[in-house]
Amino acid sequence: MRKIIIIFVAFGISLCTIQAQKKTFTIDERWVGKVENIVTNGIDFAYVTKEEKEGLMGMEYSYYIIQKDKTFGPFDDFSQIEYSSLDKLVFLVNLNDKSFVYHGETKLGPYDGLSRHFNNKCLNFSQDGKKLAFTASIGKLDYAIIDGVLKGPYDDIYSFGQITPLLSNDGKKYAFPVKIDGNIYIVTENGKKGKYSEIYNYIFSPDSKIFAYTYVSLNKSDYLSMNGKEYGPYNGINDLTFSSDSKTFIYCIVDNDNAYLIMNDKKYGPFGEMIFDITLSPDCNRLAFSYRIENDKHYIKLGDEKLGPYKSVGNILFTNDSKNIVYSFESGDSYYIYNNNQPYGPIKEFPSDLVLNPINSKFAFTNAIYDGGDENKILVFYNDKSFGPIETEWFTYDELLFDKNGKYLVYNVLKNSYLLNLETDEIFIGSLYKDGVVYIDGNQIIIEPYKK
C-alpha cells in the first residue's frame, strides 16, 4: 500500500526556475489551503484550494481558483476546471446556491443548476477547445448554452447519461433532446424534430459529417435516425459506434428476441439475447464485442474466435498495436483480467476503469474498498502494486488515464485529480495536459512536458 502525499500550500507565486524541460514554480506563504486540483496548458496554470474552518453548524469550506497573479473566490463549491484552449481557463463554481461558469474573461450566470453528464462533467467543448456548451436551469426551465448563446427555454433538456448539448468535432453542429408538452424532440442546428416517447443515444461521426440517434416512437417501437434516414422498427437498439476514421458505423439491434450486429448496413448474427461493449481496434481492422445468451452466460466474439462462457464480461480493450485484446470477466465467485492470453487474478471486486499503458500494454484498474465507513475509497492497481486508498464518491464516473510516455497514471474523481508516478510509486495532486503533466511536489508546482 502506498501513502498519498497530502499537500498544504499557499496562494501566489514567488519563483520560477527551468530545469531541462521542466518548469518549476515555488508557491509563497500569503495564504494556506489544501490543493484540490491543478491544470495547465503548458504555459499558464491554475489550481484550486479549499479552506476549512469550524462553523456554528460544523465544518465550513471555501474554494479559491488561483491563476498566477489572479485569485477568484471565495466560492461555496467547484466541480470542474480545465483549459479549453491555450488562452482560456474554464471553471464551474457555486456561490449562494447559484452556479457560475467562467470562460476566459467571460463570466456566465447566475444559473439555478447545471446538468451533470456520465463523466461527472457539466461543460462540453468542441475538439479545438474554442466552443463551449452546457445545459443550465433558470427557475423551472432549462436552456442549452452554446458558445454563450441561450437556446430555449424548454420544459426539460435530457442527457440520458450523455454529454448534452453534444458538439461535433468541428464545432459547427450540435444536438440535444428536449421535452415539450410531454413529448421528446431532438434539437440540432437545423431545428427541432420529433415527437418521440424517448431518445436515448445520439452521436456525431469523428469527421462531423454524420449525425445518428435512436428513439422510441409514440407507438413504443425503436428506430435509428441517421442523417434524416430512418431504420426500424426494432425491439431495441444500442451501442452506436463509429470507427476513428468514420468509415465504419456499427450498432446492435434486438429483433424478435434475438440480438444482431449491423455494420455498414450489413446484418450479422444472431448473437444471443443482447450485445454489449462494441470495440474497434486502433487500426480499425479488428472488432470485438460481448454478448449474452440465455441462462446469463456471456461470451466475447473476436473475429472467428468465441471466448467464454463467463458469468459477466466488461472493459474490452485492444492493445495499441491492435494485435491483442484485454478484458475483465467473472468466473465462479471471482473476477479476473484476461491479458497476454492468460487470466490475471483473482481480484476482490469487479475491476473498474481498466486502461492499458501505451508503451508496454500493462494494465491498470481500480477496485472499491467496502469497509463499512462513511468514506468511499478506491485502490488503483498497476503492475502488481496498489496505490491509495483514494477518496471518491459513489454513483460517480471516475477516470483513469496514462500519459503517452507510460510514466504517469492520472486518476480523476469528482473534484480531485491525482497523478501517480509509476517509477517512484508516489501520488501527487496533478493532471495531464496535451503536451505533458503538471503536479505539486511539496511547495513546488512542476510542469513537465513530454520529451521531444
More confident residue, 425 or 127: 425
> What residues contact residue 8 under an 8 Å CB cut-off, 6+ apart?
32, 33, 34, 35
More confident residue, 333 or 336: 336
| Residue reference for cell 501527487 | 428
Residue 9 pLDDT exceeds 80: no
Residue 389 pLDDT exceeds 50: yes
The predicted pLDDT at position 118 comes to 55
Strand partners, 380: 366, 387
C-alpha cell at 168: 461535433
Pairing of strands 258-263, 249-255: antiparallel
3-state DSSP assignment of residue 343: strand
| Residue reference for cell 480499425 | 284
Is the peptide bond between 153 and the residue preceding it cis, with omega within 30 degrees of 0? yes
Per DSSP (E only), the strands in 189-284 are 191-196, 198-204, 211-216, 222-226, 229-234, 236-242, 249-255, 258-263, 266-268, 274-280
Strands of 58-67's sheet, edge to edge?
8-10, 32-40, 45-55, 58-67, 70-75
Output the CA torsion 311→316→322→324 (10° steps). Answer: -30
Pairing of strands 132-138, 266-268: unpaired
pTM for the model: 0.87
**Mean pLDDT (the chain, rounded):** 87
Q: Alpha-carbon distance 376 to 96, whole Å?
A: 27
111-116 contact pairs (CB < 8 A, 24+): 111/136, 111/137, 111/138, 112/136, 112/137, 112/138, 112/139, 113/137, 115/142, 115/157, 115/159, 115/164, 116/79
The predicted pLDDT at position 248 comes to 96
Q: Summarize pLDDT for 136-183 with one digit per residue, the tens.
A: 999 999 999 999 899 999 999 987 767 889 999 999 999 999 999 889
Do 433 and 440 touch, CB atoms closer than 8 A?
Answer: no
3-state DSSP assignment of residue 440: strand
> What residues contact residue 411 under an 8 Å CB cut-off, 6+ apart?
353, 366, 380, 390, 398, 399, 400, 417, 418, 420
Percent of the chain topping pLDDT 90: 62
Residue 85 pLDDT exceeds 80: no
Do 90 and 123 touch, CB atoms closer than 8 A?
Answer: yes
Using alpha carbons, select from 64, 18, 3 the residue that is nearest to residue 445.
18
What number is the average pLDDT over the span 421-440?
92
Do 386 and 353 touch, CB atoms closer than 8 A?
Answer: no
* Most confident region among 182-191, 376-385, 389-398 by mean pLDDT: 182-191
7 confidence band (pLDDT: 50, 70, 90): very low
